[in-house]
């Protein structure tokens, strides 16, 4: 686009207009038009950039007729640049406005298709534009803060970030839910978990993590399933179930606290008062699967020991609770093949799920890993997979197999609870669900 000033004299962030010493000073701003109106030769524009928004007033006699006429035709979400002076004005949002001495149109824009009272489907079709809303802006600022806080925690704990592949010849969590692709004539899969690769990486590094997209080809149309989600996975050598629970608890508590301290405005705007997150206390309650079954039966659920906890059961366990809940030692048959059999109890595995407070379902899935190669081979057979496909993984049990454990946290699941969103798709800019993989 010709004539758009990108280099040259620096532009000020919009927030500069609200600095304590800004009144009477000149500013140069650029950004997008949140809304505008004109009356009696004065144009009122609310200008937005990444730092905030400010009212700009442009008088025809101050900016010149040609510039005024052009600016008057800028649509919502058109782009402009402005030079002017900051002045106090009690009627303007934030009590300040910028009185323009010049105004230039960068892109007048076409009529913006998004306004209030549109259907959810329409907004999802126009997601590439809808993500400019203040709700989405706040959401993705919080998400970035959460990722930062988690990385800071992992750094403090001396866990090394590694980069496992997304394309694989194995479908680790069970073939039926993996997206299969044609890999030059051979079957390939989109990663459901980086776990098996992380298990290989603990021998040289002992403590590793990866933050990667995971893919699940589940047709589940629930408000907590995406077909592509951001997965934080950690694998720790020399760790048992108690160590794993302790690590998970500290990771969640410290990261949630950091986000609440750094993004209170965004949280409040999204309907989650930061105080509620700051009130989260360790230790989180812990119960075994067997205790969970007893508790659910007492609530009227008809459940056999051995059945998996479904949507309704998970929800009932934490609906009345402000804290997350650890559920440990699930029946072996409902969990993945790589989980360590509980010492002294062949019916259960050393697995733990962290259920979100307020009925928000599973946030973290974690377990100690089976170190015994014969048991692993037996389990691979029981799930109907071919042992040859896991040869490389079995090698890890042949060369320095040590006790280890790991976890997978669904970033959007955690965020959905933190932001109290009804649907998980609100926690990712371009949601992927069974019904939608575009835009």
For 243-268, the DSSP string reads: HHHHHHHHHHHHHHHHHHHH-HHHHH
Give the side-chain half-sphere CA count within 13 A for 170: 18
Distance of CA 153 to the CA centre of its chain: 16
Site for ligand 4AD contains 173 (CB under 6 A): yes
> For ligand 4AD, which is the closer residue by CB, 73 or 219?
219
Nearest to 114 by CA among 105, 103, 126: 126
Minimum CB separation from ligand 4AD for residue 152, in Å? 20
Site for ligand 4AD contains 425 (CB under 6 A): no
Phi, psi of 78 (to 5 degrees): -70, 170
Site for ligand 4AD contains 164 (CB under 6 A): no
SS3 (DSSP) at 199:
helix
Q: Kindly tell me which residue out of 191, 412, 419, 428 binds ligand 4AD, with binding defined by CB under 6 A.
A: 412
Minimum CB separation from ligand 4AD for residue 215, in Å? 9
Q: Kindly tell me which residue out of 78, 84, 324, 365 binds ligand 4AD, with binding defined by CB under 6 A.
A: 365
Q: How many CB atoms lie within 10 A of CB 310?
A: 10
Site for ligand 4AD contains 209 (CB under 6 A): no
Q: Kindly tell me which residue out of 233, 266, 313, 314 binds ligand 4AD, with binding defined by CB under 6 A.
A: 233
Q: Kindly tell me which residue out of 189, 229, 337, 390 binds ligand 4AD, with binding defined by CB under 6 A.
A: 229
Minimum CB separation from ligand 4AD for residue 210, in Å? 9
Cα–Cα distance measured from residue 162 to residue 135, given in angstroms and rounded to the nearest whole number: 33
For 11, 148, 213, the CA distances from 218, given in Å and listed in that order, are 48, 29, 15
> For ligand 4AD, which is the closer residue by CB, 57 or 433?
433
Site for ligand 4AD contains 31 (CB under 6 A): no
The answer to whether the Cα torsion of 204, 207, 212, 217 is positive or negative is: positive
Burial of 246: CB neighbours in 10 Å, binned 0-12, 13-18, 19+: middle
Site for ligand 4AD contains 364 (CB under 6 A): yes
Minimum CB separation from ligand 4AD for residue 295, in Å? 21
Site for ligand 4AD contains 80 (CB under 6 A): no
Q: Kindly tell me which residue out of 329, 379, 397, 413 binds ligand 4AD, with binding defined by CB under 6 A.
A: 413
Site for ligand 4AD contains 332 (CB under 6 A): no
Within residues 379-408, the interface with ligand 4AD by CB under 6 A covers: 406-408
Nearest to 396 by CA among 420, 418, 414, 376: 376
Site for ligand 4AD contains 410 (CB under 6 A): yes
Nearest to 328 by CA among 360, 381, 368, 370: 368
Site for ligand 4AD contains 84 (CB under 6 A): no
Site for ligand 4AD contains 48 (CB under 6 A): no
Cα–Cα distance measured from residue 345 to residue 32, given in angstroms and rounded to the nearest whole number: 63
SS3 (DSSP) at 113:
coil
* Residue ranges that bind ligand 4AD, judged by CB under 6 A: 173, 193, 195, 216, 218, 225-226, 229, 231, 233, 362-366, 406-410, 412-413
């Amino acid at each position: 686009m010709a004539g758009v000033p990108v280099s040259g004299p620096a532009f000020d962030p919009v927030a500069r207009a609200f600095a304590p010493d800004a009144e009477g000073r000149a500013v140069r701003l650029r950004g997008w038009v949140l809304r505008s109106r004109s009356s009696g030769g004065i144009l009122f524009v609310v200008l937005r950039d990444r730092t905030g928004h400010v009212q700009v007033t442009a008088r025809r006699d101050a900016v010149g007729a040609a510039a005024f006429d052009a600016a008057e035709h800028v649509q919502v979400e058109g782009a402009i640049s402005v030079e002017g002076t900051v002045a106090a004005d009690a009627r303007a949002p934030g009590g300040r406005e910028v009185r323009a001495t010049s105004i230039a149109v960068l892109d007048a824009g076409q009529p913006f298709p998004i306004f209030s009272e549109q259907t959810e489907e329409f907004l999802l079709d126009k997601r590439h534009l809808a993500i400019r809303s203040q709700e989405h802006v706040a959401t993705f600022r919080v998400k970035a803060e959460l990722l930062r806080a988690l990385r800071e925690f992992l750094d403090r704990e001396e866990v090394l970030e590694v980069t496992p592949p997304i394309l694989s010849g194995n479908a680790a969590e069970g073939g039926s839910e993996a997206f299969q692709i044609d890999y030059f004539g051979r079957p390939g899969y989109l990663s459901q978990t980086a776990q098996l690769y992380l298990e290989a990486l603990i021998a040289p590094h002992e403590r590793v993590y990866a933050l990667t997209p995971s893919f699940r080809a589940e047709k589940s149309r629930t408000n907590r399933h995406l077909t592509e989600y951001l997965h934080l996975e950690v694998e720790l050598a020399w760790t048992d179930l108690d160590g794993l629970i302790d690590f998970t608890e500290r990771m969640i508590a410290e990261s949630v606290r950091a986000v609440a301290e750094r993004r209170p405005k965004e949280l409040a705007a999204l309907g989650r008062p930061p105080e509620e997150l700051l009130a989260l206390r360790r230790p989180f309650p812990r119960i075994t699967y067997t205790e969970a079954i007893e508790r659910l039966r007492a609530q009227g659920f008809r459940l056999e020991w051995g059945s998996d906890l479904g949507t309704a059961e998970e929800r009932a366990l934490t609906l009345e609770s402000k804290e997350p809940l650890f559920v440990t030692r699930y029946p072996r048959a409902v969990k993945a093949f790589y989980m360590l059999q509980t010492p002294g109890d062949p019916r259960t595995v050393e697995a733990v799920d962290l259920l979100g407070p307020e009925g928000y379902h599973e946030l973290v899935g974690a377990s100690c890993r089976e170190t015994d190669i014969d048991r692993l081979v037996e389990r691979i057979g029981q799930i109907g997979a071919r042992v040859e496909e896991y040869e490389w993984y079995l090698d890890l049990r042949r060369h320095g197999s040590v006790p280890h454990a790991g976890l997978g946290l669904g970033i959007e699941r955690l965020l959905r609870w933190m932001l109290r969103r009804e649907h998980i798709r609100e926690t990712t800019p371009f949601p992927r669900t069974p019904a939608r993989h575009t835009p």
